Structure 1
Amino acid sequence: MTFQPIWPWWIMLPVIAGVVVLLGWTAVRSRQHGAGLRGLLLPAGLVALLLLAALRPGLPGGSVRAAEADLNVFFVVDTTSSIAAEDYGNGSPRLDGVRKDIMAIAGELAGARFSLITFDSQAVVRMPLTTDTSALGTLTGVLEPQITQYSTGSSVTVARTVLNERLKAARDSHPERARVVYYLGDGEQTSGKAPEPMHVDASLVNGGAVLGYGTGQGGRMKEKSSYSSGDAAAYIQDRSGGSAGDAVSRIDEDRLREVAAQLGVPYVHRAPGDGTAPMMQAARPGALKETSESLEGRTELYWAPALAAFVLALWESIRVLRQLRQLRPGRTEAG
């Protein structure tokens, strides 16, 4: 069995030692006051189970293919309203395909460092470079389009400044690591003027791809009133003409090809059912190196002590509620 604690060992060990000392001191105090230790069993068990879950136990086994160790991967993701257009497969939003492909790429490049940049009216670094694919998965899973009322028009190249800064910083800090850029979007320009070129120095990008989502027929987009994904919403209306109707977003592949040319990477259209291999092959025009090394796989077991702690806490809560009900004063009959 192996352990991968949620905090570094230099934090976990003092925490564990402190908890053990506190429980021991409590046990001694209980004995001095004539109380038994039975009342400490449940709290001690809960603490022990939670600490065990925090240590993230797991069973080694299997392996995953490793990427070149010196590889930095930048995801540049379109989060404008159009990424919610429902023309990805059978009426699904384009963002579903974006989420799926990000995690597929991360799976193929296990061991690399990943950064997530999103753009709508402006570009934001959501996650700096890290090898933590769990964090990448969490952030990718909660990606949502921009709130509709905040949308004032966007450019497909608005992320150029932030991307350049991140690429230069990565080069300056670790020039030996290859830098890969994946741009994921639909190419729709809504700012009312032609997009400025990406202006990314060719030496900063060693590989990657522009991935396009959507169809020529286009799809409708639901309004986004808040960042609560459970909100029901109407469709965005197109009021550019004389009468209002559901707005339709269509992919602009010519624009995406321009972005790809400016980044010096290939363009790949993505649709449901498309395999990962063609996307990865297109993104490796000889700039990325394969490696025969592999990373040791493991089966996570932290959920078992966490579930046991939940059951104990639930049982204790029920027991306390029963005791409180017994303490309620009984009704007195009027005499």
Structure 2
Amino acid sequence: MSGYMLSPSLGWIAGSIIAAILIVAAIVNVMLYVRRRNNSDTSLAACVRRSIIAVLIAIMALTPSVEATTTSQAINATDVYVAVDVTGSMAVDDAQYGSTDTISRLNAASKAVTDITALYPNASFAGLSFGASASLDVPLTPDSNALTNWADTLRTEPTASSTGSNLDAPLDKLLVNLKSTHDQHPDDSIILYIITDGEQTSSTTRRSFSSLRGYINDGFTIGVGSTAGGQVPVTQVTASGDQSQAGNWVIDPSTKKPAISKMDPKNLTAMADEISGSYIAVNARKTLSDSASKDASKQYRVTTTVKKRRRAMPVIWPFAIATGVLLLWEFGAWLAMSRRML
């Protein structure tokens, strides 16, 4: 613990108004006593006692607190898994997200992840990227900033290492992690978001996502891009480890012309049906800012985190005890005065 502070439990506006009214009442009480002391039965002790009571209650309205560090955190019993496609086609600049401005599909996915974290305050989040293979980049954590930071740093896989789009690439990794979360917290609500353009270019048949149904409460496939499509840029990793576009386009071997990648609503709808979820296409008018799942939990549980946080711990009991003693004194004085008046 370190340092004293004021942290009004009713908020600064309400707390300040209540405190100000009580302080004014204490001052008025003293002024009235001074003005009427020769024509009143009120004693000096009664005047001081009542003013102190008002001041003590004013202090409690402002909630004196001490600052303490803690690793405990109350989190909502909702676990949100987000899987983002990072294949080369996600670099196509044909996506829109709440604006007519055209951005890359991966940029639209990043904006969608930010909106997802806002939809589930105090929930836990996990981030998974998939291309030629899948990777759990952000294990389940109550730190929503970890997920948004991850989404902001996502890059499409280099063209040289790409093996085409295979939509079931994240399936095995999702199955293992969703089952683990379900087994550890069986009463939690588990929500799954899969963000992709829905394009399947691999020659292998896509496996069904229906095996995930037993471990999630709700799911969404989020379509980014356009059905008109766009040319796929060649991307490469620079010597510094950053990613850049080489300035030319991926060539379709069958036509010898720049390959055109299109968002595939049919695949996205089929995937949504397999997890008993919903398909949402984001565009200039539609974003995820109002697409929260109705299956999100309303329950909370306490967990221990590595990150230390500071919080205000109210310390009003000394003031409450003093106020109680003074109120008992006031009640006793009132009884004595009442008996003398009989």
TM-score, shorter chain, exceeding 0.5 = yes
Q: CA deviation at 1:248?
A: 1.3
1:119 pairs with 2:130: yes
1:181 pairs with 2:192: yes
1:235 pairs with 2:248: yes
Identify which of 111, 119, 123 aligns with 1:108: 119
Q: CA deviation at 1:276?
A: 3.2
- Supply the distance in 2 between the matched residues of 1:144 and 1:192 (Cα, whole angstroms): 24
**Residue pair 1:205, 1:264 contacting (<8 A) in 2 also:** no
Match of residue 88 from structure 2: 81
Q: CA deviation at 1:290?
A: 5.2
- Supply the distance in 1 between the matched residues of 2:278 and 2:122 (Cα, whole angstroms): 23
Identify which of 111, 129, 149 aligns with 2:140: 129
Going from structure 1 to structure 2, the CA distance change for 1:95 and 1:161 (only over 3 Å counts) comes to: same
**Residue pair 1:120, 1:154 contacting (<8 A) in 2 also:** yes
- Supply the distance in 1 between the matched residues of 2:287 and 2:165 (Cα, whole angstroms): 30
Aligned residue pairs, count: 227
Identify which of 253, 256, 280 aligns with 2:268: 256
1:270 pairs with 2:282: yes
**Residue pair 1:219, 1:250 contacting (<8 A) in 2 also:** yes
**Residue pair 1:220, 1:235 contacting (<8 A) in 2 also:** no
Match of residue 229 from structure 2: 218
Match of residue 171 from structure 1: 182
Identify which of 200, 205, 220 aligns with 2:211: 200
SS at 1:110 equivalent: coil
Larger radius of gyration: 2
Considering fraction of residues, name the structure with more strand.
2
**Residue pair 2:235, 2:243 contacting (<8 A) in 1 also:** no
What whole-Å deviation, never above 9, does each CA across 1:191-248 have from its counterpart, x for those lacking one?
1132111242423110131110111110122221117556342233223235x32221
Q: CA deviation at 1:96?
A: 1.1
Match of residue 288 from structure 1: 296
Going from structure 1 to structure 2, the CA distance change for 1:173 and 1:289 (only over 3 Å counts) comes to: closer
Unaligned 5+ segments in structure 1 are: 4-59, 61-66, 293-335
Unaligned 5+ segments in structure 2 are: 4-66, 68-73, 301-342
Q: After TM superposition, where is structure 1 displaced by more than 3 Å over at least 4 residues in a row?
A: 227-230, 275-278, 289-292
Q: CA deviation at 1:68?
A: 7.5
- Supply the distance in 1 between the matched residues of 2:245 and 2:224 (Cα, whole angstroms): 24
**Residue pair 2:76, 2:297 contacting (<8 A) in 1 also:** no
Match of residue 150 from structure 1: 161
Going from structure 1 to structure 2, the CA distance change for 1:232 and 1:149 (only over 3 Å counts) comes to: closer
Match of residue 152 from structure 2: 141
What whole-Å deviation, never above 9, does each CA across 1:82-130 have from its counterpart, x for those lacking one?
1111111344111111000101110121200000011111111011000
Q: CA deviation at 1:182?
A: 0.4
Q: Kindly, what percent of the aligned residue pairs are identical?
A: 24
- Supply the distance in 1 between the matched residues of 2:78 and 2:299 (Cα, whole angstroms): 12
SS at 1:118 equivalent: strand
- Supply the distance in 2 between the matched residues of 1:235 and 1:95 (Cα, whole angstroms): 19
**Residue pair 1:208, 1:266 contacting (<8 A) in 2 also:** yes
Amino acid at match of 1:191: S
